[in-house]
Amino acid sequence: MTDQVRCPILTEKAIRLLEKNQYSFDINVESNKAEIKKWIELFFAVKVVAINSHQLPRKKRRVGAITGYTARYKRVIIKLESGYSIPLFSNE
């Protein structure tokens, strides 16, 4: 269950969404919204209001003569109830 969420996303859009109490994560492709909501609420002790998800297109990569694709993953935007937050950086 802990391998469902890969990493938080910190792009310009994701930073703008932080002001609206929305957080972006890359997750495993096989995960659905119900599993992710349950995992985020348990792990971070927050209340999730909504989840929007989409699969990003695969990118073609080439190493020498071998052509392949990048790994598949989903991106989710999670909206939290007001008063809750997820610490993305440690204070140390």
pLDDT in tens, 6-53: 788 888 998 899 889 999 988 888 888 998 899 888 888 999 999 999
Structural domains counted in the chain: 1
Q: Which domain CATH number covers 57? A: 3.30.70.330
3-class secondary structure, 17: helix
Q: Rounded to whole angstroms, what are the CA distances from 65 to 68, 70, 91?
A: 10, 16, 45
Model pLDDT, residue 90? 58
User: Looking at the DSSP assignment, which residues form a beta bridge with residue 27?
Assistant: 5, 74
Per-residue pLDDT, averaged over 54-82, amounts to 90
Percent of the chain exceeding pLDDT 90 equals: 34
pLDDT at 78: 92
pTM, entire model: 0.78
Is residue 2 predicted with pLDDT exceeding 70? no
E-state strands within 1-92? 5-8, 22-27, 48-55, 60-63, 66-69, 74-80
Domain hosting 48: range is: 5-80
User: Does residue 85 sit within a domain?
Assistant: no
In a domain, 92, yes or no: no
In a domain, 87, yes or no: no
